[in-house]
Amino acid sequence: MYENLETAENKENLKRVVIDPVSRVEGHGKVTLLLDEENKVKQARLHIVEFRGFERFIQGRPYWELPVLVQRLCGICPVSHHLAAAKAIDQLVGIDPENLPTSADKLRRLLHFGQVLQSHALHFFHLSSPDLLFGFESDISKRNVIAVLNEYPDLGLQGVKLRKYGQEVIRMISGKRVHGTGAIAGGMNKSLTKAERDYLLEDIDQVIEWSAGAVALIKKVHCSNLPYYDDFATIATNYLGLTKENGALELYHGGLRAKHANGDTIMDHVDYCKYNDYIHEEVRSWTYMKFPYLTALGQDQGWYRVGPLARVNNCDSIDTPLAEQARVEFKQHSSTGIMVHSTLAFHWARLIETLHCAESIKQLLNDPDIMGSDLVAQGEKRYEGIGVIEAPRGTLFHHYQVDENDIVTKANLIVSTTSNNMGMNESVRQVAAEYLSGQELTEPLLNNLEVAIRAYDPCLSCATHALGKMPLQLELVNAEGNIIDKLVKHSDGQIENVRK
Amino acid sequence: MTKPILIFGYGNLSRGDDALGPLLLEALEQKIDLSDIEILNDFQLQIEHALDLENRELVLFIDASVSCNTAFNFSKLEALRDKSYSTHAMSPSAVLQVYQSIKKQAPPASYLLSIQGLSFELGEKPTEQANNNLQLATQFAEDLLNNKNINFWNQQLQYDFS
């Protein structure tokens, strides 16, 4: 059951704490803490078992199936996979991003803003706000969305409706809630009708107002306890993401930018089609998840974080006024005014992006191009295509090669949770080092580990929903494989201490 | 105009037996009169699906289940706070609870048709056993939807599923 520990010094002297799985992210993650003989945490491992098989799932299929097929990789952000695949297969039909018809480009952007809005709304209002509003140390039975709906009914309802609005944007553009066919090779399947556009315009001002309110709320919550929010699970890291040519925040298409923890630029305006020259994926024996790093900095120094915190840190500006104002305030809060490393600041950055999405949706809905009829372009067939977008959780890479029969012969995907793999491990290690005392596994420790992981909003389920199959478990295991302490968190939230 | 009966199937067509919910919807679409029935599907249930319950008289959720001990099972749902509040996917009872919290009223009469599933790996087709279960469950659902009243549905709770 327990594999050898391959990296730690004096591995024969380490104990293991296994937490399996992590609640309020998904049911298929577990955390292993490796302890030395003095019970100090030496290493943390977040195991995510569900990312295997992505490439195998895609290989052997005709490329034109991919925008629909890849949505089934993930029930949480299917539109992100849909658009990344569409960008990749654009190239297979000879269309580079700058040659995509204007209407198609804007419709895809609108679709993407809808997706990011609904995903961020779900994370904040449903998964994070119970912790943030009631406090991380409050009664665990209270920390759920129902309690939010009961005690903060207006806020809770806003979350539900923001989520619904984003879903409606997706439905209007792709025709369905799920398995839609909005994006196709070289363009889009349909544009918006005036009636569809007007329907979405009805609520957009309200959506912007709610999003702005959410930013104000998270700022207030964060700043009300700065020592905690700025220090908890905080790690100074490199950051990676797309930006526009002028350095502004970009979610759909741009160049790769990476920055050091001190804000210095590592690389900028890199064509993502050359990502293999800049990013290497390390494989480790104990997990299916790879560990990507920036080749220029090497394996030890080159790992990076992606997602809202990375994007807001990396960009020079945001091209919508309310979100830009929020970004400036966010940056001013950091001690240097340059980079914000607090892991809990993921929440703040996520809501700044939510506001940006809402503002951008309004801009696009008022742009007549989204009702245009020039939707598809065609060029010379190619045999390789790479699509990269900023998914809600971070940079998402889709890379395909096809044969002369248009069948995918090779696929490589780097999902954002993979890019954040090392960051999550480090955040978990830091929390465990602070909260694990002796050989006792405690509920506060478990809770704090979950809070750290949840800040990243990792996607661990990828569309399976066999709920309740696995309870949450923490095990303390010595180097001989003997369990010396065990906590079980049952599916009803009850925690049982099962000592051996 | 909202149709009074909602059938909500959920699952992923590309994850083996997880496809049973959407597949049952596809079968029903060919077999039943949809004039007063709305069919919806999604990968998984989430908070906003509570809004789909508005102005319904009867709701039927359909899902694959690893914990179902018989080919299929039919049960009545109650609004319930359960652990699924804290994941990216919610249980149908949790969705009813969200409805109750938002609307400040009891949710519509809601039922769950669970179909036994065995394997949920990405890229797999449904297992032979699951397909057999699907056929039996489809027949049962057809009967339900040909008798769209709460008394008949409640009587079916006594059905011998073994």
CB contact (8 A) between residue A25 and residue B88: yes
| ipTM greater than 0.90 | no
Q: Report the pLDDT averaged over residues A125-143.
A: 80
In the structure encoding, which two tokens stand for residue A334, read together? 């950091």
CA angle A17, A20, A26 (to 5 degrees): 140
| CA–CA gap between residue A49 and residue A469 (Å, rounded) | 15
A160 in contact with B, Cβ within 8 Å? yes
C-beta separation of A452 from A431 below 8 A: yes
AA identity, residue B123: G
Is the per-residue pLDDT at A288 higher than 80? no
When the pLDDT of each residue in chain A is averaged and rounded to a whole number, the result is 85
Amino acid at A392: P
A66, A144, A467: best to mutate for the B interface, most B CBs within 10 A: A467
Q: For A252-268, how does the pLDDT look when each residue is reduced to its tens digit (9 = 90+)?
A: 999 999 999 999 999 99
Domain count of the fold of chain B: 1
A469 versus A489: the higher-pLDDT residue is A489
Read off the pLDDT of each residue in B1-13 and give the average, rounded to a whole number: 93
Query: Measured between alpha carbons, how far is A341 from A347 in angstroms, rounded to an integer?
Result: 12
Residues of B with CB under 8 A from a CB of A: 10-15, 18, 40-48, 50-51, 63, 66-67, 81-89, 91, 97-98, 101-102, 117, 120-123
Task: Place B43 in a pLDDT band, splitting at 50, 70 and 90.
Answer: confident
* Phi and psi angles of residue A29, each rounded to the nearest 5 degrees, phi first: -110, 155
Is residue A75 within 8 Å of residue A363, measured between CB atoms? no
Say yes or no for a CB contact (<8 Å) between B122 and A167: no
- A354 burial via Cβ count (<10 Å: 0-12, 13-18, 19+): buried
Q: Cα A320 to the chain's mean position, in Å?
A: 22
- pLDDT score, position A473: 58
Q: What is the domain extent for residue B95?
A: 5-156
Q: At A160, list the tokens.
A: 């539900």
Query: Using CA atoms, how far apart are residues A117 and A350, in angstroms rounded to an integer?
Result: 9
How many residues are given for chain A? Answer: 500
Q: How close A92 comes to chain B (CA, Å)?
A: 24
Domain with CATH 1.10.645.10 in chain A: 101-233+342-375
| Per-residue pLDDT, A87 | 98
Interface test with B, best of A22, A117, A146 (most B CBs within 10 A): A146
- Tell me the per-residue pLDDT of A408-425, one tens digit each, with 9 for 90 and over: 999 999 988 889 988 988
Does B162 reside within a domain? no
pLDDT given at position A460: 56
Please spell the DSSP secondary structure of A69-87, one letter per residue: HGGGG-SSSHHHHHHHHHH
User: Does domain A101-233+342-375 bear CATH number 1.10.645.10?
Assistant: yes
Residue showing tokens 């925008």: A67
CATH code at B112? 3.40.50.1450
Q: Is B107 helix (H, G, I), strand (E, B) or coil?
A: coil
Structure tokens at A71: 């949505």
